[in-house]
């Protein structure tokens, strides 16, 4: 029996927190988010690769991305298209703003109900929060099983997938039916590069918002081809309970943000000169810290 | 009941350290709130753990035993936890930030629409007043964690939803048993009433558990390297120093991400937390996510060529210099002065 799947990849645009350099700091010592590049969350890239591999293995399958964010997060969908995805949806609405993981999962799950996929794949966690909560919460909201920390999607047998999970202390192989939510670890294979053919094809893909933006339509031709339209959904498109979205749907609140002022200890400054190092070692030996 | 409950994780027949650390913390919180400290343990045969849990202060232990629960799988474990929380309505629920806790806690929080804060580094009790003073809340759980890029500490609260849920990494909180165990009670959960066939649609077909080979948590001396070390080869310099001093090699996340060191060596908020008697930080800038995992070390030596690197501020001895020059000198000085 030939099978094909409808696969949705959950992907997030995140500030690149891995290298918060000095130029990303404001005068007052806080982080200047605007100075950080917005990137495709790394583990969501691993997730995209797993989805594309399923599409390669099961011809006729379709891969779509689903992302929630501001209008510029349309970049996430384009990046997916350039690498072999078939389409994507951007959930964007002021009413989604201020969402914690629970309100985010609610929004994603409402969109997923409309998309109705067989397999949902996301990265294990996003680097701007490292919470790893959205995958399991989406699964719960859709009453689906969740398989987290997955490194490999293996064989399909009797309508069940064999998945390998990579945990701190070893490996676990599980078998699951679908629909299912799978979260992928960074230890899974990296994503394939952009494909020149798709880059040409989707170069002008954009959302309606982008098209209405002056900067864009001044010199680009009007969209005549359907596949170049990136779909945007707002709260009214996905329906559901308005108060469950965004800030009002978020049980967790930030009470306080403190900037770090490192407490200066009484520290002794030393140079790399032999004399300094020698004295230090003698002192540590006499304190029985070493030796 | 409005009590505090700790989810107890077992690994290969042993209670995970993080669960005992959470009970230790739970004792302080429950005393402050004047409520009971409880524990939930799930497995095939786990009742024998009860004495250890009493010794760590659990006053009531919920036990869910069933041959089908031999290994953790999401659906049945979460069904039991959700059923218990719905009935018992705990005010606070704590989980280890382990692969298991990070799989289970979000599922439970979603089912109960309660908030969940990941990787807290500190938990406190305090009050809260809405900014416009409309409402006042007493005795909330302050869930404190570093956030965003490292230079802020956020205090998160869940004013209106219960339980207030948090995960905490292993090693962040102290683990201390009581001098005299609590004379507590045991309540068995009827699993057949909760579990249904669809809870078992995911099967485990194979497990290879490897003992963690690298154990930096127990090391008395840690020589940690950061991105400034520059390469995997150059980490050999740190290994040499660690060997000479009888310690272990640790690393910052930037060094792990760059492939200089194994993930098991990562120290900090998303790695291990360590408290050695000596911590040497070489080529590490000292972002909060890193220092959160090592600032309780008895003595800290920093080696960084940037005189303004934040790591120097928390060091007892701050060496401003090139690690490639300093580390061989330390090795030489040690060899000359010991014996
Ligand atoms: C959610 C989240 C969780 C995180 N969790 C962790 C965590 O658990 N652990 C962790 O470590 N980080 C964590 N981070 C990352 C953290 O914010 C920093 O990015 C990271 O710690 C920086 O590593 P580093 O100090 O090695 O690198 P850098 O910041 O790049 O610093 C390198 C340092 O080396 C010095 N240097 C360069 N060459 C030399 C030389 N030859 N001799 C001496 N000094 C030299 C430089 O002056 C510089 O100070 C996390 C970040 C986020 C957002």
The per-residue pLDDT for B260 is 95
Q: How far is B101 from chain A (nearest CA, A)?
A: 11
* A256·B310 Cβ contact <8 A: no
3-state secondary structure chain B: CCCEEEEECEECCEECHHHHHHHHHHHHHHHHHCCCEEEEEEECCCHHHHHHHHHCCCCEEEEEECHHHCCCCHHHHHHHHHHHHHHHCCCEEEEECCHHHHHHHHHHHHHHCCCEEEEECEEEEEEEECCCCCCEEEEEEEEEEEEHHHCEEEEEECCCCCCEEEEECCCCCCCCCCCCCCCCEEEECCHHHHCCHHHHCCEEEEEEECCCCCCCCCCCEEEEECHHHCCCCCHHHHHHHHHHHCCEEEECHHHHHCCCCCHHHEECCCCECCCCCEEEEECCCCCHHHHCCCCCCCCEEEEECCCCCCHHHHCCEEEECCHHHHHHHHHHHHHHHCC
Check: CB of residue A192 under 8 Å from CB of residue A84.
yes
Among A133-142, B159-168, B170-179, whose mean pLDDT is lowest? B170-179
The radius of gyration computed from the CA coordinates of chain B, to the nearest angstrom, equals 22
| B298 pLDDT tier (thresholds 50, 70, 90) | confident
B334 or B150, which is more confident: B334
Closest CA to A20 of A40, A34, A36, A41: A36
* 3 state SS of A187: coil
Mutate to test the interface with A, among B106, B108, B146, B162 (most CBs of A within 10 A): B106
| A169's tokens | 């202390």
- d(C-alpha B175, C-alpha A103), whole Å: 34
- Residue bearing the CA closest to ligand 1, atom 47: B306
Evaluate if residue B89 carries a pLDDT over 70.
yes
Q: What is the pLDDT of residue A194?
A: 97
Mean pLDDT of A157-177: 93
Is B136 within 8 Å of chain A by CB? Answer: no
* The pLDDT of residue A224: 61
Q: Which of A212, A133, A138 is nearest to A179 (CA)?
A: A138
The reported pLDDT for the residue numbered A154 is 96
Q: What is the pLDDT of residues A241-277, one digit of tens each?
A: 999 999 999 999 988 887 765 455 577 899 999 999 9
- The pLDDT assigned to A127 comes to 84
The average pLDDT across B147-158 equals 77
The answer to ipTM > 0.90 is no
- In terms of DSSP bridges, do strands B185-188 and B60-65 run parallel, antiparallel, or are they unpaired? parallel
Phi, psi dihedral angles at B155 (to 5 degrees): -105, 120
Burial class (CB in 10 A: 0-12, 13-18, 19+), B315: buried
Give me the mean pLDDT over the A217-228 stretch. Answer: 64
Instruction: Write down how long chain B is.
Output: 339
pLDDT at A285: 86
How many whole angstroms from its chain centre is CA B240? 29
Q: Quickly state the pLDDT bin for B146 (edges 50, 70, 90).
A: confident
**Pairing assessment for the beta strands A87-91 and A13-15 based on DSSP bridges:** unpaired
At residue A289, does pLDDT exceed 90? no
pLDDT digits (tens, 9 = 90+) for A102-132: 999 999 999 999 999 999 999 999 988 889 9
pLDDT of residue A258: 79
pTM (2 decimals)? 0.79
Q: Is the dihedral of CA A15, A19, A23, A24 positive or negative?
A: positive
B182–chain A nearest CA distance, Å: 32
The answer, yes or no, to whether residue A21 has pLDDT greater than 70, is no
| CA B307/CA B312 separation, integer angstroms | 7
Q: How many Å apart are CA A118 and CA B41, to the nearest integer?
A: 34
Contact A289 B277 (CB under 8 A): yes
Q: What is the pLDDT of residue B15?
A: 96
Count of Cβ atoms closer than 10 Å to residue B92 Cβ? 26
CB interface of B with A, residues 201-220, below 8 Å = 201-212
Cβ distance B317 to A258 less than 8 Å, yes or no, reads no
| Residues near ligand 1 (Cβ within 6 A) | A 17, 130; B 149-150, 226-228, 252-255, 266-271, 283-285, 287, 289-290, 293, 303-306, 309, 322-324
B 273-332 residues with CB below 8 A of A? 277-278, 286-288, 291, 298-299, 301, 310, 312-322, 325-326, 329-330
Which tens digit of pLDDT belongs to each residue from B96-113? 999 999 999 999 999 999
CB A228 within 8 A of CB A204: yes
Task: Give me the residue label for tokens 């914690």.
Answer: A100
* Structural domains of chain A ordered from first start: 6-249 (3.40.50.620)
Q: Which of A36, A253, A265 sits opposite B157 (nearest CB)?
A: A253
B201 with A176: Cβ contact below 8 A: yes
Asked if B337's CB is within 8 angstroms of A281's CB, the reply is yes
Percent of chain B at pLDDT > 90 equals: 79
A22, A100, A106, A132: best to mutate for the B interface, most B CBs within 10 A? A132
| A170-188 pLDDT per residue, tens | 899 999 999 999 999 988 9
Better pLDDT: B149 or B74? B74
Which residues in chain B are contacts of A263 at CB distance < 8 A?
A: 313-314
Average pLDDT for chain B: 93
Between residues A64 and B273, which one has the greater pLDDT?
A64
Cα separations in angstroms, A94 against A88, A103, A158, B148, B287: 20, 13, 44, 22, 33
Q: Do B277 and A268 touch (CB under 8 A)?
A: no
Per-residue pLDDT band at B132 (split at 50, 70, 90): confident
> What separation in Å is there between the alpha carbon of B221 and the centre of ligand 1?
20
Residue B215 is predicted with a pLDDT of: 77
Are residues A10 and A138 in contact, defined by beta-carbon separation less than 8 angstroms? Answer: yes
Two tokens at B51?
A: 């004495």
Buried b (16+ CB within 10 A) or exposed e, A95-112: bbeebbbbbbbbbbbbbb
Distance B35 CA to ligand 1 centre (A): 41
- For position B203, what pLDDT does the model report? 97
Ligand 1 centroid to Cα of residue A75, in Å, is 28
Q: Are B304 and B311 in contact (CB under 8 A)?
A: yes
- Domains annotated for chain B, with CATH where assigned, are 4-200 (3.40.50.620), 221-337 (3.40.50.1220)
Rounded to an integer, the average pLDDT of A92-111 is: 95
Q: How many CA atoms lie within 13 A of B46 on its CB side?
A: 32
User: Average per-residue pLDDT in chain A?
Assistant: 89
Q: How far apart are the first and last CA of chain B?
A: 62
Q: What is the pLDDT of residues B317-334, one digit of tens each?
A: 999 999 999 999 999 998
The residue that leads in pLDDT, A230 or A28, is A230
B158 touches chain A (CB under 8 A): yes
Nearest chain A Cα distance for residue B167, angstroms: 10
Do the chains contact at A256 and B338, CB–CB below 8 Å?
no
Q: Which residue CA neighbors atom 30 of ligand 1 most closely?
A: B227
CA of B261 to the centre of ligand 1 (A): 13
Residues β-bridged to residue B154: A257, B145
List C-alpha distances in Å: A7 to A132, A179, A183, A196, B310.
20, 10, 13, 23, 46
As beta bridge partners, residue B92 has B4, B164
Asked if the Cβ–Cβ distance from B299 to A255 is below 8 Å, we say no
Q: ω before B163 within 30° of 0 (cis)? A: yes
Contact A137 B109 (CB under 8 A): yes
Pair type for strands A13-15 and A38-40: antiparallel
The protein residue whose alpha carbon is closest to atom 49 in ligand 1 is: B285
* Among B223, B322, B295, CA closest to A264: B295
């Amino acid at each position: 029996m030939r099978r094909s799947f409808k696969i949705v990849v959950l992907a997030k645009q995140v500030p690149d927190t891995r290298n918060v350099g000095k130029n990303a700091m404001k005068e007052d010592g806080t982080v200047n988010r605007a100075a950080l590049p917005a990137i495709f969350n790394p583990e969501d890239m691993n997730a995209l690769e797993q989805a594309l591999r399923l599409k390669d293995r099961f011809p006729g399958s379709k891969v779509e991305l689903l992302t929630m964010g501001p209008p510029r997060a349309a970049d996430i969908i384009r990046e997916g298209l350039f690498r072999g995805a078939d389409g994507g949806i951007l959930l964007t609405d002021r009413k989604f703003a201020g969402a914690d993981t629970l309100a985010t999962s609610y929004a994603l799950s409402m969109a997923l109900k409309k998309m109705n996929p067989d397999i949902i794949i996301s990265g294990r966690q996003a680097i701007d929060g490292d919470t790893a909560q959205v995958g399991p919460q989406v699964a719960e909201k859709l009453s689906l099983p969740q398989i987290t920390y997955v490194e490999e999607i293996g064989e399909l047998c009797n309508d069940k997938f064999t998945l390998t999970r990579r945990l701190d202390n070893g490996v676990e192989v599980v078998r699951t039916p679908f629909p299912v939510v799978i979260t992928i670890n960074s230890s899974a294979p990296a994503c394939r590069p952009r494909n020149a053919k798709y880059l040409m094809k989707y170069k002008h893909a954009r959302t309606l918002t982008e098209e209405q933006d002056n900067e864009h339509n001044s010199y680009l031709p009007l969209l005549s081809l359907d596949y170049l339209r990136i779909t945007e959904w707002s709260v009214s498109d996905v329906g559901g309970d308005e108060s469950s979205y965004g800030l009002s749907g978020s049980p967790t609140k930030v009470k306080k943000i403190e900037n770090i002022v490192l407490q200066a200890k009484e520290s002794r400054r030393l140079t790399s000169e032999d004399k300094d190092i020698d004295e230090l070692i003698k002192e540590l030996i006499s304190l029985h810290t070493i030796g | 009941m409005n009590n505090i409950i700790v989810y107890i994780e077992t690994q290969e027949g042993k209670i995970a350290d993080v669960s005992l650390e959470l009970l230790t913390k739970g004792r302080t919180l429950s005393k402050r709130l004047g409520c009971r400290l409880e524990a939930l343990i799930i497995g095939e045969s786990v009742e024998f753990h009860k004495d250890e849990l009493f010794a760590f202060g659990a006053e009531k232990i919920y036990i869910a035993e069933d041959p089908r629960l031999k290994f953790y799988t999401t659906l049945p474990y979460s069904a039991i936890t959700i059923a218990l929380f719905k009935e018992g309505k705990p005010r606070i629920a704590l989980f280890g930030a382990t692969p298991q806790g990070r799989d289970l806690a979000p599922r439970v929080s979603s089912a109960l629409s309660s908030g969940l804060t990941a990787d807290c580094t500190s938990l406190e009790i305090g009050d809260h007043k809405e900014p416009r003073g409309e409402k006042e809340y007493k005795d909330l759980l302050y869930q404190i964690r570093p956030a965003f890029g490292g230079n802020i500490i956020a205090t998160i609260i869940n004013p209106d939803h219960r339980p207030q849920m948090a995960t905490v990494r292993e090693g962040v909180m102290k683990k201390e048993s009581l001098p005299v165990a609590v004379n507590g009670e045991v309540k068995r959960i009827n699993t057949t009433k909760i579990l249904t066939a669809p809870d078992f649609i995911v099967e485990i077909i194979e497990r290879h558990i490897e003992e963690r080979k690298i154990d930096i948590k127990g090391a008395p001396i840690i020589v940690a390297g950061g991105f400034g070390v520059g390469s995997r080869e150059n980490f050999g310099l740190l290994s040499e120093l660690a060997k000479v001093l009888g310690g272990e090699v640790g690393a910052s996340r930037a060094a792990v991400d760059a492939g200089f060191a194994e993930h098991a060596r990562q120290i900090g908020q998303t790695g291990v937390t360590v408290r050695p008697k000596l911590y040497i930080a070489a080529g590490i800038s000292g972002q909060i996510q890193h220092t959160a995992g090592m600032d309780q070390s008895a003595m800290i030596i920093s080696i960084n060529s940037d005189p303004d690197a934040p790591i120097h501020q928390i060091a007892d001895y701050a060496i401003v210099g090139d690690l490639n020059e300093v580390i061989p000198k330390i090795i030489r000085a040690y060899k000359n002065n010991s014996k």
